[in-house]
């Protein structure tokens, strides 16, 4: 039962994030552009779809190991691109560092989930 609870809590993070990105699509695309990503609208669309679909798959427990590994890889890439605390203005350094470390903890949880029989 605790693995199910953990899986649902992790899934909620991605589903809610994906829904937010869908509801604020131009904002998401502009953020990707500020990060220097090409084709920001394509990147925003793929990210949005991936977060919602993978989050839902994780919630229902379909191919949990594969989905957890995919979400872990996705989160690592998103963390490296979006929370570059080493480049942050001093006023935003700690905020970016906190998000970076939080995302690493999420990756850790996904790796544990990927290795559990869920």
What percent of the chain stands above pLDDT 70? 98
Helices 2-23 and 40-60 cross at an angle (nearest 10°) of: 150
Q: Average pLDDT over the chain, rounded to whole?
A: 95
Is the pLDDT at 69 greater than 90? The verdict is yes
pLDDT tens digits, residue range 15-29? 999 999 999 999 999
pLDDT tens digits, residue range 45-68? 999 999 999 999 999 999 999 999
CB neighbour burial string for 44-76, b if at least 16 within 10 angstroms, e if fewer: bbebbeebbebbebbbeeeebeebbbbbbebbe
Tally of CB atoms within 10 A around 115: 11
Is the pLDDT at 100 greater than 60? The verdict is yes
The rounded radius of gyration (Å) of the Cα atoms in the chain is: 15
Is the pLDDT at 118 greater than 60? The verdict is no
What is the pLDDT at residue 91?
95
At 56 the three-state DSSP class reads helix
């Amino acid at each position: 039962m605790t693995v199910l609870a953990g899986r649902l809590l992790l899934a909620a993070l991605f589903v809610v994030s994906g829904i937010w990105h869908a509801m604020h699509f131009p904002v998401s695309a502009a953020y990707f552009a500020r990060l220097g990503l090409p084709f920001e609208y394509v990147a925003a669309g793929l990210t949005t779809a991936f977060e919602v679909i993978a989050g839902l798959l994780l919630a229902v427990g379909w191919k949990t190991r594969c989905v957890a590994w995919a979400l872990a890889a996705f989160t690592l890439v998103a963390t490296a691109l979006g929370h570059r605390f080493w480049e942050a203005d001093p006023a935003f350094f700690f905020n970016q560092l906190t998000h970076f470390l939080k995302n690493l903890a999420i990756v850790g949880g996904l790796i544990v989930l990927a290795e559990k029989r869920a």
